[in-house]
């Protein structure tokens, strides 16, 4: 079993309140969940207006598939336009 983990740091310049930020982040999270069938959640910077950190995980039987899924999700976030992808890191974990 292979677990893919991705941490995505977003800048949200269009948000001028926590309510606006949460609306944007929640929409991105829900779209990722429904499109890619992955576990996605806001994991850090919950009370900061202009920034968010999203955690993404997926499970597969091949590392290439998990890596491809995470790359597709990162590309989806980059092309979304509501938030700027500031940075991201990925990790593949092998579980016996």
Helix (H, G, I), strand (E, B) or coil at 88: strand
Superfamily of domain 2-94: TT1725-like (3.30.70.1120)
Q: Please give the share of the chain, as a percent, with pLDDT higher than 90.
A: 45
pLDDT class of 14 with cuts at 50, 70, 90 = confident
Check whether 96 has a pLDDT greater than 90: no
Q: Please give the mean pLDDT across all residues of the chain.
A: 89
Per-domain residue ranges of the chain: 2-94
Q: Please give the share of the chain, as a percent, with pLDDT higher than 70.
A: 100
For the beta carbon of residue 14, count every other beta carbon within 10 angstroms.
Answer: 13
The whole-number average pLDDT for the span 19-31 is: 90
The whole-number average pLDDT for the span 10-21 is: 86
Burial of 81 (0-12, 13-18, 19+ CB in 10 A): exposed
Give the gyration radius of the chain's Cα atoms. 13
Residue in the structure block whose two tokens are 């269009």: 14
pTM of the model: 0.81
pLDDT digits (tens, 9 = 90+) for 31-71: 999 998 889 998 887 777 888 999 999 998 888 898 899 99
CA distances from 35 to 32, 51, 82 (A): 5, 23, 17
CA distances from 60 to 35, 50, 93 (A): 16, 33, 11
């Amino acid at each position: 079993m292979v677990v893919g983990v991705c941490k995505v740091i977003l800048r949200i310049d269009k948000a001028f309140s926590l309510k606006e930020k949460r609306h944007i982040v929640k929409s991105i999270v829900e779209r990722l969940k429904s499109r890619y069938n992955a576990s996605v959640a806001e994991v850090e910077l919950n009370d900061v207006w202009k920034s968010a950190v999203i955690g993404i995980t997926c499970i597969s039987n091949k590392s290439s598939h998990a890596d491809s899924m995470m790359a597709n999700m990162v590309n989806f976030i980059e092309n979304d336009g509501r938030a700027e992808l500031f940075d991201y890191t990925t990790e593949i974990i092998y579980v016996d």
